[in-house]
Structure formats: C-alpha cells, structure tokens
Amino acid sequence: MKNKRKELSKNQKIVLEFIEKNNKPVKAYSILSNVQKKGINAPPQVYRALDKLIEIGKVHRIESQNSFVACKISNCDTPHKTVFSICNSCEIVSEINDPKLFKQLRDFADNDGTKFESYNLEFFGTCKSCVTEQRENVKIK
C-alpha cells in the first residue's frame, strides 16, 4: 500500500498528528480544542477530517466511547474490520492484531448465512499494568 499520508489535506494532517500524539482515544471536542490554534475552528472541519482518516484506515472510531484512536497496525488496510481491547480501569485502548481471529471472522456468517463486510469489535477487561497495580495495592494494604 502506498503512503497515504501524502494525499492528506492540511486539516487532515493536523487532526491525525494530534490523535497520534495521544496514547488514549480522544473525543472530537478535545481534538477541536487542541487544533484551534492551528486554524481549525469549526466542528465540521474536524468531522470531515475524521471521516477521511477513518475511511483510509489511519484512524479508528471507538464506538463505546465515541472517541478516536490512531491505527496501531501499520498500514491497516481493513479500516472497517477492527478489534480493540479496552481496559475498564485506565481506559487504555489497544488494537488487536490476531491473524487467527481475523481468519475466523472472515469465514464467519450468522445463522441465516449472512457474511459480514464490516465489524468493530470491542473487548473489555483489565490491562496488564492495571492488574499489576491492583496486586501491588493489595500487598500494601
């Protein structure tokens, strides 16, 4: 896949850079307030940029949080087939890259035989560092 960053507009680049700087998913209003000094002042400008970034797979939407995260799988070419794990305690989101799971999902159909073209799966749990932290807290007590 060719480097799509070159095809991005100025606003799209600004929005993408801000999302990439963050470890956690960001909400649209937070994007807007942080890119204002760079000349993006209207919510539709942010949403238009997000739409494009999502379409090309550079950014994914976390449905449950209504937030946005940069693609962590380089050159993710399946922007409409995403799987995330979300920590219930620190809300950190990681993109799951599991070929076995993807293969299973590719062949997956519902009871009526409908094959799926897109999915946005979210798994909730406790991330490793939160588990460690919780264990240490218990020890201290």
User: Taking the complex as a whole, how short is the minimal distance between the CB of residue 131 and Zn ion, in angstroms?
Assistant: 8
Pick the closer one to Zn ion by CB: 16 or 71.
71
Q: What angle do CA 101, 102, 107 make, to 5 degrees?
A: 100
Pick the closer one to Zn ion by CB: 13 or 91.
91
Distance CA 98, CA 9 (A): 32
User: Taking the complex as a whole, how short is the minimal distance between the CB of residue 39 and Zn ion, in angstroms?
Assistant: 28
| DSSP symbol at 119 | E
User: Taking the complex as a whole, how short is the minimal distance between the CB of residue 51 and Zn ion, in angstroms?
Assistant: 16
Pick the closer one to Zn ion by CB: 40 or 76.
76
Distance CA 124, CA 126 (A): 7
| DSSP symbol at 27 | -
User: Taking the complex as a whole, how short is the minimal distance between the CB of residue 7 and Zn ion, in angstroms?
Assistant: 18
Return residues touching Zn ion (CB under 5 A).
71, 73, 76, 87, 89-90, 127, 130
Distance CA 129, CA 141 (A): 19
Quote the distance between the C-alpha of residue 30 and its chain's center. 15
Pick the closer one to Zn ion by CB: 45 or 120.
120
Determine the residue with CB nearest Zn ion. Answer: 76
User: Where is 44: in which H helix or E strand?
Assistant: helix 43-55
